[in-house]
Chains A and B, each alone.
Chain A
Amino acid sequence: MFSLMTFMQTDAELIAQSLASPERFGLVFDRHFRAIHQFAARRLGVAQADDIAAETFARAFKARRKFVPQEGSARPWLYGIATNVMRMHSRGEVRRLKAYARTGIDPVEDFAGAATDRASADKSRRALLAALAELSRRDREIVLLAAWAELNSVEIGAALGMSDATVRTRLARARKKLSRTEAISPAPTGGDLAIEEQR
């Protein structure tokens, strides 16, 4: 019941209210913190994710006046900030990906205490991660926002300050590169793969 009215409010409305009542931003935090944290954890590990998620929301809170509502949701905006925060860790991420591809051991799973041998048994995944490490930073960000944040091309564009068309082009190009790896056959078109384009 407590969130009865609050829930009905869009992020944009809550952020607008937070200008007069900063506590309202706490509800935006509640809605998105876990997702942002998990996105950061998947990319850089849980230990760094704590700081990155905290920094993301601190920046978002300070910059909330600049928020431009996109269908009311703050998701793309927050992922954009998180991506900026993570940029300084770009090299570490590449190292991590390469290590994963080389050893087959997921460093994130290790850190979370849930290591499995699943990854080591999956050659295609290791090849994929190696290819991911070879992508340009920008293309990698687009791919990961599509894969792990489940943003569509419009939202990725909003997050990274790019046009929808540019995102689609880059995503298609990155996908091709990733599919060219040794163990991955070219991705089929349509069906399941329509997600990024269709949303």
Chain B
Amino acid sequence: MNTTTDPILLLRELRAAVAEPTREAELRARDAMFASRSGGRSRTRMVAAFAVCLLALVPAVVVLSPWTHTQSAQAAVDQLAETAADQPTMKLGPRDWIVSHYTARYSWIQDLTQERLDTLTARALAVAEMPGNDGHYLRRNSDNKPISDAEADAINRKQQRRIDRIRDGVKLDELPATHIEAWNESPYTQVRSTTGIGGGGGGNNTIHYGSPQQAAAGKILQRAGIGGVNANPTDFGGMEISSLPAQAIGDESSVEGLSTEPDRMRDQLAKSGAIVGLSERPKAGSTLDIFGKTAGVVFSPYASPQQRAAAIRLAASLPGVEIDQHARDSAQREGIGMALAIPGGSMQFVFNEADSRLLGMVVQIDDVKTFVGDSYAIGKDHKKIPVLPPYDSATVAVSYDALTISRGAPPCKPTFCMTGPHPSKAELERMRRIAGTG
């Protein structure tokens, strides 16, 4: 029984009684919002939207006319699915931490110049290599001033107590409010290493956040280019977060109950929430929507081997999906590629033939205006990274290489985890100069 007498806390208790918005209400609001946009849509966007609409019609066709591949392509898919079914499941306990790492590589194919490519690469490396990025607790709302070891120990103990509560089976809703307040009162954030690329980030970040509720609610820490804490541990790279429940493709609740029959899985995925992150959000149930979600299932540590296998078969069976048995990601690793046309370009997932792991994703979008925003390095010597001008009509290829997940302790030292050979000191200096940070 609650004994608090604080009016704010008493009021807060009432909040839990409210029902969540319905999906219909959310979609209506979204439509109304975009309907209110001023000015006409560009031709490109209209074409893209039209393409999305066309894609949305395709699933009806597949029932009548299953997509077929060449015999060898189908054999490759079958092999991939069988391999997936043999892989062990990473079953996460309440105290496990997931760490995922990736390296984002950018190539500007159409407008590619070596100078631009160097600049992008250099920005990532220069930031990663900046001194002061490792192991520093930073004060919120102040300069990046490291704190003493004693303070750091105290924070760690506090953090451990929170984790212990979760381990002990305390439900998130039941955690006392002090957890939130501990976060709010805590002026510290630990940043182990940070890289920044382009519009908002990339690379490897380790953030210790204060409150499981904050993470579960998807509330994020906004600080100097760090996006923050995502409630979904499978959905992004480079952050160390706890295995908290969330509603997103690939998380525990989304894969729970998913059928191991591809057709049934397609129906289930069609009914689940639409994926986010694409500039043209695909209609729920469309081919693009399902295609994206299948990759989420393959990537999910919560999915069973049979679910992963079914997701691979389902992705390959979608209309328009092309199988490339000799696909390469931008790290030039060969794998089985599954590609689908998307508005204005194409999207390809590359799977490792040996263990069916998702190696990476390559998205190519033609004729779009790219955006490169502010980016900051975090640490003692934090600096704002110069903003690159946006490119018109560029083709962008983004590949997430070395997309791996692990449990427990971070798989590498709390420094930037390079997937390739570490650049020499001279090379780093050169890159820092290019990036304007040296």
Please state if B17 and A175 are interface contacts (CB–CB under 8 Å): no
Please state if B17 and A196 are interface contacts (CB–CB under 8 Å): no
Chain B positions within 8 Å of A199 at CB level: 184
B153 within 8 Å of A (CB atoms): no
* One of B2-10, B116-124, B426-434 contacting the partner: B2-10
Please state if B10 and A125 are interface contacts (CB–CB under 8 Å): yes
Please state if B201 and A16 are interface contacts (CB–CB under 8 Å): no
Complex CA distance for A194 and B277, rounded to whole angstroms: 36
* One of B73-81, B142-150, B222-230, B324-332 contacting the partner: B222-230
A128 within 8 Å of B (CB atoms): yes
Given known A-B contacts A7-B227, A26-B34, A33-B29, A188 and B5 have beta carbons under 8 A apart: yes
B28 within 8 Å of A (CB atoms): yes
Q: Quick one: CB contact mask for B377-403 with A, threshold 8 Å, 1 for yes?
A: 000000000000010000000101001
A5 within 8 Å of B (CB atoms): yes
B97 within 8 Å of A (CB atoms): no
Please state if A198 and B181 are interface contacts (CB–CB under 8 Å): yes
A41 within 8 Å of B (CB atoms): yes
Chain A positions within 8 Å of B371 at CB level: 16-17, 20-21
Please state if B277 and A192 are interface contacts (CB–CB under 8 Å): no
Q: Quick one: CB contact mask for B6-26 with A, threshold 8 Å, 1 for yes?
A: 111111111101111100011
Chain A positions within 8 Å of B181 at CB level: 191-192, 194-195, 198
Q: Which residue of A lies closest to B237 (CB)?
A: A4
Complex CA distance for A149 and B25, rounded to whole angstroms: 20
Given known A-B contacts A147-B11, A192-B4, A61 and B36 have beta carbons under 8 A apart: yes
Chain B positions within 8 Å of A101 at CB level: none
Chain A positions within 8 Å of B36 at CB level: 58, 61-62
Q: How many residues of B contact A (CB 8 A)?
A: 76
User: How many inter-chain residue pairs (CB < 8 Å) link A and B?
Assistant: 246
Q: Quick one: CB contact mask for A27-38 with B, threshold 8 Å, 1 for yes?
A: 101110111011
Please state if A13 and B6 are interface contacts (CB–CB under 8 Å): no
A77 within 8 Å of B (CB atoms): no
Please state if B222 and A5 are interface contacts (CB–CB under 8 Å): no
CB-based closest 5 A-B pairs: A8-B201, A9-B200, A2-B277, A112-B19, A54-B29
Give B contacts to A, CB under 8 Å.
Answer: 4-15, 17-21, 25-26, 28-30, 32-34, 36-38, 45, 102, 104, 177-178, 180-181, 184-185, 198-202, 217-218, 220, 222-223, 225-227, 230, 235-237, 275-281, 292, 295-296, 299, 358, 361, 368-369, 371, 373-374, 390, 398, 400, 403
24 contacts between A and B (CB under 8 A): A1-B296, A4-B102, A7-B230, A7-B236, A11-B222, A13-B200, A22-B37, A25-B33, A33-B21, A37-B20, A46-B18, A54-B33, A61-B37, A73-B222, A108-B17, A128-B10, A143-B7, A146-B8, A148-B15, A150-B180, A175-B7, A188-B6, A191-B181, A199-B184
